[in-house]
Amino acid sequence: MYNDLKARDKAVNWHPYTQMKTANEIIPIVRGEGAYLYDANGKRYIDAVSSWWVTLHGHAHPHIAKRVSEQLLKLEQVIFAGFTHEPAIQLSEQLLHLLPANQQKVFYTDNGSTAVEVALKMCVQYAYNHGLKKTKILAFENAYHGDTFGAMSVSSRSKWTEPFGDLLFEVIYIETPTKNNFERTKAIIEEHRNELACFIYEPLVQGAAGMLMHEPEDLDRLMQYCRSKEILMIQDEIFVGFGRTGRLFAADHLAEKPDIMCFSKGLTGGTFPLGLTTCSQEIYEAFYADDPYKTLFHGHSFTANPLACTAALASLELLLSEETQYDIQRICKEHEQFVAEVDSHPKIKRLRQCGTILAIELQIEENSSYFNQQYAYLYTHFLNEGIILRPLGNILYLVPPYCLSSVDLHFIYHTIKKVLDPSQIH
């Protein structure tokens, strides 16, 4: 069956972020349970990257499955313009209760990139509805906010976005905040202040950039400055939300509050695609008018899908349980111990940790062919050991589901330490 699935896949499917000609062999997965995935040969893998950062409580979780299957027999989908339903109402109520107090309204979409698109459109049209033209966006260097055109525009430019360069809109980039660069950043913001529709940022951790991290105090200072200059702030918690940083949201590490927040990935516990954008009353009111042209003309077919909202509610119950909160702290502590243990290893250039997110930057020369071989070697090596780790360049990282046992976590650490042993690296 394994080879049959592989061959049929190759005949018809085009995979994301994959050079189909030179890609590693594709692995057909037939089932998941807890932190494990099983391939068609029955081989077990530890999902150490939460299936692209989405899975919170493990695969095929019975509680989520039960709630979703009950909802499936009641109402599977309904148009969200002119209609509503209990799961969307409940989810909005519960989320707003957990978010910073200024978040007052929820706008649903169906993935992270579209949650970002909505946030950007809210900000640009906020200015427009006030009779102003503000169309430039402030973003961090090395940012990643998604792959649709708007989200791609506010992400950092790279080889990957090069074919679309002329079609991307103008963005002013600033460095992520440190103790030393505040004055420089202030000058850039001051220069463009009147044209800026908003500032969009990944708080505390820039995931796709390689788990780059900055300190909450430094981000707070920057946010306070943006607030004083009346620049709207979009906090993209698509990756860091729902416990990844050790607290429920990155917002829980910050004193200053954003105007808009974006969520997806862990929102449904990784069960269904769902995105949402929350905003303050002030943003909402800029669209609340008798004038029909002040409407936010945006919507996706599957907006607020009842099954996805139900999965999100079930996931939230699990997340807030004592057991999961304990597991999150357990993973944080184990990561800390591992960091202390291997910190001075000569093969490690830098170690970074924020809550349950751990990144190990390896001492390797980038852009060399040696580097590419190294990537393929590491990826395959971990797969052979039964661990799914997809390095970002020379950066190994762990974003585990919270149900990952300490035994499995230590097996992953052990496997990483073996890789660091020079005699193991070819």
Assess contact for 414 and 407: CB atoms under 8 A: no
Say whether 236 is catalytic.
yes
Q: Report the alpha-carbon distance of residue 384 to residue 382 in Å, rounded.
A: 5
Which one of the listed residues 36, 265, 397, 413 is annotated catalytic? 265
| Binding of ligand PLP by 264 (CB under 6 A) | yes
Residue whose CB is nearest to ligand PLP in the complex, by number: 112
Applying CB under 6 A, which of residues 64, 95, 116, 119 lies at the interface with ligand PLP? 116
Q: Report the alpha-carbon distance of residue 168 to residue 154 in Å, rounded.
A: 8
Least separation, in Å, of the C-beta of 420 and ligand PLP? 27
Beta bridge partners of 357: 354
Say whether 21 is catalytic.
no
Kindly tell me which of 45 and 263 has the beta carbon lying closer to ligand PLP.
263
| Binding of ligand PLP by 118 (CB under 6 A) | no
Which one of the listed residues 47, 110, 236, 259 is annotated catalytic? 236
Beta bridge partners of 348: 362
Amino acid 212 reads L
Kindly tell me which of 67 and 265 has the beta carbon lying closer to ligand PLP.
265
| Binding of ligand PLP by 120 (CB under 6 A) | no
| Binding of ligand PLP by 236 (CB under 6 A) | yes
Q: 78 phi and psi, to 5 degrees?
A: -150, 145
Kindly tell me which of 236 and 256 has the beta carbon lying closer to ligand PLP.
236
| Binding of ligand PLP by 382 (CB under 6 A) | no
Kindly tell me which of 94 and 142 has the beta carbon lying closer to ligand PLP.
142
| Binding of ligand PLP by 239 (CB under 6 A) | yes
Kindly tell me which of 111 and 415 has the beta carbon lying closer to ligand PLP.
111
Sheet containing strand 44-47, strands side by side = 29-33, 36-39, 44-47, 387-388
Q: Report the alpha-carbon distance of residue 112 to residue 126 in Å, rounded.
A: 21
Applying CB under 6 A, which of residues 111, 129, 156, 374 lies at the interface with ligand PLP? 111
| Binding of ligand PLP by 117 (CB under 6 A) | no
Maximum pairwise Cα distance, the chain: 72
**Rg (Cα) of the chain, in Å, rounded?**
22
Q: Give the residue from 34, 33, 31 showing the smallest Cα distance to 403.
A: 34
Q: Report the alpha-carbon distance of residue 232 to residue 46 in Å, rounded.
A: 41
Applying CB under 6 A, which of residues 35, 37, 223, 238 lies at the interface with ligand PLP? 238
Applying CB under 6 A, which of residues 47, 117, 202, 327 lies at the interface with ligand PLP? 202
Assess contact for 174 and 360: CB atoms under 8 A: no
| Binding of ligand PLP by 55 (CB under 6 A) | no
**Residues ≥6 apart with Cβ < 8 Å to 213:** 204, 205, 206, 352, 354, 359
Catalytic positions, written as ranges: 17, 144, 236, 265
Q: Which residues bind ligand PLP (CB under 6 A)?
A: 111-113, 116, 144-146, 202, 207-208, 236, 238-239, 264-265
